[in-house]
Chain A
Amino acid sequence: RKEVEQDPGPFNVPEGATVAFNCTYSNSASQSFFWYRQDCRKEPKLLMSVYSSGNEDGRFTAQLNRASQYISLLIRDSKLSDSATYLCVVNLYGGTSYGKLTFGQGTILTVHP
């Protein structure tokens, strides 16, 4: 089983749609969680951190469910500029893999007019 798993998509949605991505992780010692965005042929950039209480940044909402070991990202009112690959990231702080930062395979989102 992969340490971090995402649905690779692709997701094709019209402008204004709401879209949700999920990500599961296998190691319960995982401590920090993030969503990154990657544009074509560029480096990943932080979209938002994910906190246990859930957090929101404008049109983006991230949630963490430690009991079920998954995190989610919700994008409301999609824009053309939201088209990118969204990467789920887990930072492991425990055991022999202390500080291991693991990425999911990414979910491709295309927003069309």
Chain B
Amino acid sequence: DGGITQSPKYLFRKEGQNVTLSCEQNLNHDAMYWYRQDPGQGLRLIYYSQIVNDFQKGDIAEGYSVSREKKESFPLTVTSAQKNPTAFYLCASSIDSAEAFFGQGTRLTVV
């Protein structure tokens, strides 16, 4: 089945550790996105990529890093510089200006 897969579904991190969230899609979409959602809030854009080996900062990129070495993959690293990383992280992909499809999300908790 075609779709977008995020893993893991739940992730626990100790303070000061870097963690990487996986996002893979087999929809042949060029564009991929990472969002963060806090309880009761909307989605805030962290990073986005329109093409392999290129990506742009979104509205809240500080403390995060990404790579886009393959069209299918857009992993997000939450670094120790992110002071409040506990949140629901959503990855999405799209073709050009068409609608975006989302993965099921990763819930990250700092313990």
Residue positions of A touching B, CB distance < 8 A: 6, 31-32, 34, 41-46, 49, 87, 89, 91, 93, 97-106
Interface size (B, Cβ < 8 Å)? Answer: 26
Residue positions of B touching A, CB distance < 8 A: 31, 33, 35, 41-45, 48, 50, 56, 58-59, 88, 90, 92, 94, 97-105
User: A43 contacts B104, CB within 8 Å?
Assistant: yes
User: B97 contacts A87, CB within 8 Å?
Assistant: no
When A and B form their complex, which 5 residue pairs have the shortest distance between CB atoms, in order from nearest?
A105-B42, A43-B102, A32-B97, A103-B43, A99-B50
A6: B residues at CB distance < 8 A: 42
Count of CB-CB pairs between chains A and B under 8 Å: 58
Docked CA distance A27–B19 (Å): 34
Question: Distance in Å from the Cβ of A113 to the closest Cβ of chain B?
Answer: 24
Say what secondary structure dominates the interface of chain B.
Answer: strand
Known contacts A43-B90, A99-B31, A99-B48: does B42 contact A104 (CB below 8 Å)? yes
User: A93 contacts B105, CB within 8 Å?
Assistant: no
Question: Distance in Å from the Cβ of A97 to the closest Cβ of chain B?
Answer: 8
A103: B residues at CB distance < 8 A: 35, 42-45
B101: A residues at CB distance < 8 A: 46
Q: Which of A89, A103, A105 has the largest count of B CB atoms less than 10 A from its CB?
A: A103
A93: B residues at CB distance < 8 A: 97
Known contacts A43-B105, A91-B97: does B58 contact A100 (CB below 8 Å)? yes
